[in-house]
Amino acid sequence: MGLKAALPKAELCFYTLVLSLGILWAGSWIFEASRDNMNRQGLKPNVKRGWSYIGRKMDVADFEWVMWFTKFRNYILFALSGHVLFGKVVSMMALQHRSLVLMLYGILAVLATMGVSYLMLILSHCLLLYTIGLAKQKWFCFGAGLCSLATFKLEPFSSWQNGFVIGTFELQDILFYGGSGFTIMRCMSFALENTERKEGHYSLLDLLVYNFYLPFFFFGPVMTFDQFYAQINKGHFTRKADEMWNIQKYAFVHLVVIILVDIFFHYLYILAIPSDMQLVLNLSDWALACLAYLNLVYDWVKAAVMFGVIGTVARLDYLDPPQPPKCITMLYVFAETHFDRGINDWLCKYVYDYLGENHDNIGKELLATVCTFLVTTLWLGPCDIVYIWSVCNCFGLNFELWVQKFFEREPFASIEANKLSESMSRRIRGVFGAANFWAIILYNILALNSLDFALVVARRLIIEGFPLSPLGVLFITYCGVQLIKEHERQLALDSEKEKVQ
């Protein structure tokens, strides 16, 4: 109830005005803090010389972003351009061998980047999990896959296997653990899909084609094997009338976003400031709230750009990769919160939906969420901060269902159905959505930033700033939630119109 309930346009305009002014006002505090503390000793490691024609220093606290779009930019462009070129030539000359050539190109790229020992290590894990998959026992495949993943995430096995990479370079650890982790997830998907095949088995070559598709190898996203196999082995490849235009458009959009993010980092040091806790303690409550929010928005933008660029290359290969994650500003429920849609789809298919079924039973939902976050904890790498993050998000996901079930009981169900209008029901749900929105932010900046920063934000907004700061922040968030609900309402109406047509 309440999804299709319309609110007066004047009310929605008021919400838009309040949200816009609130974000601009809070953002101005961060701008002033960035400008006034540009040369602060605590920020020096994370604030370096930026673009000369802007004349300001730049936030370089995110190592991955800086590496991708400066030192390793040309290598990435060269590798992906070669992949697209080889794929296009083979598609024109020998379509039946296209998947094999893409596999060989991926293997050669991994060999050139990480060395023969690393390639042999990856192949040995592929062979092991392929052999186990022949047994067609789901529990055996899943357990063996988790054990294999654990060898890359737990000591001393992780350090021992890392020793197979010869030489050192700045992205070595990221490429090692990215390629290894995604390899295991793909091999598990292959083995689990093989158990579903009624006759015969998928071949080892099918697994290697799946695993060594270069755009997905190091950074994902993960496509489940059934989807990849069906798309890579199509008999003919055709494009829709406007598909190439859309690919070019998205490529241009990603380029613009990369430039805008770099410009943004010259004026708002949203990643560097949280590293200096003395400066954080001197910020206003509003600046802290905006800083926490922008940290999540940036991480979404980073994921959207990375997966968007990879997805663009995959679409040139006639694949339909997982979509970028849903914008964090459009989320107010834990069930839709994720930063990697590929991993999210993988977990939903093989764990969460498999155990939770239709997700309306409290016991099954608890089992499904606990198992899902156990796997996620292993995937991220077990450590104290990941444990806290997993427990908080697991609780949040279950608490949503508990609250839903509680208010479906009498007398609440009758009150909502008989005494509340749909618009009032939407407003009340918006209040809960605003509180949930901030729970999502606080729980996730644990992993994206630090426990100390998350505790400072929570203490200042909930305890020290009470009542003005929490109520003010929640009201602005409530305005945002209502605008999200309005967007969802429009999408639902558009969907109904399409069905009628």
Report yes or no: 128 and 148 within 8 Å, Cβ to Cβ: yes
Domain ranges of the chain: 9-48+246-500, 94-233
Q: For 233-277, how does the pLDDT look when each residue is reduced to its tens digit (9 = 90+)? A: 876 777 777 888 888 888 899 889 988 998 999 899 999 999 888
Q: How many CB atoms lie within 10 A of CB 425?
A: 18
Average confidence (pLDDT) over 300-317: 88
Decide which of 418 and 295 is more confident. Answer: 295
What region does 2 belong to: left with phi over 0, alpha with psi -120 to 50, or beta? Answer: left
pLDDT at 379 over 90: yes
As a whole number, mean pLDDT of residues 13-35 equals 92
The residue among 107, 75, 104 whose CA lies nearest residue 87 is 104
pLDDT value, residue 493? 84
Q: What is the mean pLDDT of residues 406-411?
A: 84
Nearest to 331 by CA among 140, 131, 481, 156: 481
Judge whether 437 and 473 are in contact, CB under 8 Å. Answer: no
Residue 304 CA to residue 250 CA, distance in Å, equals 11
Instruction: With a cut of 60, say whether residue 2 has pLDDT above it.
Output: no
Q: What is the pLDDT of residues 148-204, one digit of tens each?
A: 999 999 888 888 888 777 666 666 778 888 899 999 999 999 999 999 988 889 999
Q: Is the dihedral of CA 41, 47, 51, 53 positive or negative?
A: negative
Grade residue 1 by pLDDT with cuts at 50, 70 and 90. Answer: very low
User: Model confidence at 3, in pLDDT bands (50, 70, 90)?
Assistant: low
- Whose tokens are 């030192």? That residue is 71
For the chain, give the percent of residues with pLDDT over 90: 35
What pLDDT shows up at residue 65?
A: 84
Residue 87: pLDDT band (50, 70, 90) is confident
Q: What is the mean pLDDT of residues 111-116?
A: 87
Amino acid letter, 19: L
Highest mean pLDDT among 6-20, 62-76, 350-364: 6-20
Nearest to 79 by CA among 119, 107, 47: 107
Averaged pLDDT, 210-227: 91
At residue 490, what are phi and psi to the nearest 5 degrees?
-65, -40
CA neighbours closer than 13 Å in the CB half-sphere of residue 409: 5
Whole-number average pLDDT of the chain: 87
| pLDDT confidence bin for 335, thresholds 50/70/90 | confident
**Among 210, 181, 191, 189, residue whose Cα is nearest residue 121:** 181
- pLDDT at res. 178: 87
Tokens read off for 317: 């290969």
Q: Give Cα 141 distance to the centre of its chain.
A: 26
Averaged pLDDT, 62-71:
78
In the three-class reduction of DSSP (H, G, I as helix; E, B as strand; rest coil), residue 225 is classed as helix
Average pLDDT estimate for 84-106: 81
- Strands (E) in 34-88, as ranges, are 47-49, 57-59
What are the helix (H) ranges across 317-380? 341-347, 353-356, 362-380
Residue by residue, DSSP assigns 129-194 as HHHHHTT--HHHHHHHHHHHHHHHHSTTHHHHHHTTS-S--TTHHHHHHHHHHHHHHHHHHHHHHH
